[in-house]
Amino acid sequence: MKFDPEPQDPPGLEFAFAFRVKFSNRVKIGTVSSGFTRGYTGVVGGDVAGPKLNGIVVPHSGGDWPAYWPNGAVEFTAFYMLQADDGTQILVKNRGFRYASPEVTARMERLDPVEPHEYYMRLCPTFEAPEGKHDWMNRTVFIGTGNRQADHSIFRFWKVA
């Protein structure tokens, strides 16, 4: 059988929800033996809105431990909790990358305003929801975009269909 590399059934995207996550001060802990600088910022709170989920980001429920690479890339590894409007608690494990020019990165470090088109920020979260109304999230692939602000970030997520 001949292999046909052309896509026959490309996946679709469906907007699911957005998070506005408020963060505490961002700190850089130091360079580790792997060659990157480890950072930390705590999750202060936030909100969730969209056609598939509404609720809050549970205050002080986790944080992000970014790796700042020498080439300018930032690798995110965040864990925190959501609470849906119906009271369901949902764990978020959000991983992704941000990359910007040295000039834009310097502006971000100073907490100056930066437009989303000036940098690349993509995310691939997974969720742990209890059995019930929201357990569909446990078996769904999501991709997302990020918009970093001085004291919060806005993450928008799409279901991969």
Going by pLDDT thresholds of 50, 70 and 90, the confidence category of residue 140 is very high
How far the first Cα of the chain sits from its last, in Å, is 27
pLDDT tens per residue across span 50-91: 999 999 999 999 999 999 999 989 999 999 999 999 999 999
Sorted by sequence, the CB contacts under 8 Å of residue 49 that are 6+ apart come out as 17, 18
Q: Which of 4-8, 62-66, 128-132 has the lowest mean pLDDT?
A: 4-8
Q: Distances in Å between the alpha carbon of 40 and those of 18, 30, 62? A: 22, 10, 10
> Residue 100's pLDDT is what?
95
Burial class (CB in 10 A: 0-12, 13-18, 19+), 161: exposed
* Residue 25, helix vs strand vs coil: coil
> Residue 98's pLDDT is what?
96
CATH 2.40.160.20 for the 13-160 domain, yes or no: yes
Structure tokens belonging to residue 133: 């109304």
Q: In the predicted model, is pLDDT for residue 34 greater than 90?
A: no
> Residue 109's pLDDT is what?
87
> Residue 33's pLDDT is what?
87
DSSP-assigned states of every residue in 54-121: -EEEPTTS-EE--EE-TTS-EEEEEEEEEEETTS-EEEEEEEEEEEE-HHHHHHHHTT----GGGEEE
